[in-house]
Amino acid sequence: MTEQANTVVVQRDVPARVVPDGWRTTIPESSFVNVQQALGGTFTVIYDGQMMRIDGVDADAINREPRAFSFDPPRDDGRPRDEDLWRVLRTIFDPEIPVNVVDLGLVYGCDVIERDGENVVQVRMTLTAPTCGMGPVLVGDVEDRLALVPNVDQVEVELVFDPPWSREMISDEGLVELGLF
């Protein structure tokens, strides 16, 4: 959903990421923010002259319906469910393109390894261009969203550029969304 920009008062301290650097910060309660975009359950706002992203799980702080995730019961072996990982990845959108990162072809792999008794999700992904300034924001979105999946203890994201991303990597669903199919 893309929405008209409007100004709202932040209802509570809310975590955010600075765009395009991806630095984590907090927007204080009672601050004014200008909501620029809502896409994939993530909100792009302007606060104090700086563009920031607020995850949909914190949408109540800006008077929006929070993004809720529901998951099947955990696996008996204590590992995260692959289908939950991929479903959550499909809720992450490139800030500049209205297609999720999976259908856009940015995710090359998502694996769970066990390290020191913890489930570590390792994601290999790329960007539409090596110089894309939104890389840190996308990496932060992937880390935050996958951390919500039951039995995920840690998330590691590796940006790779081989093979380089190309339009041919977009899924049929992504092409339809972009009006290119």
* Structural domains of the chain, with CATH: 6-62 (2.30.30.40), 82-178 (3.30.300.130)
pTM of the model: 0.86
pLDDT category at 4 given cuts 50, 70, 90 is low
pLDDT at 163: 94
Q: pLDDT (tens digit, 9 = 90+) per residue, 30-81?
A: 999 999 988 777 899 999 999 999 999 999 999 999 988 999 887 899 999 9
Sheet strands (E) in 28-179: 32-39, 42-47, 50-55, 107-115, 118-125, 154-159
How far is it, in rounded angstroms, from Cα 9 to Cα 17?
18
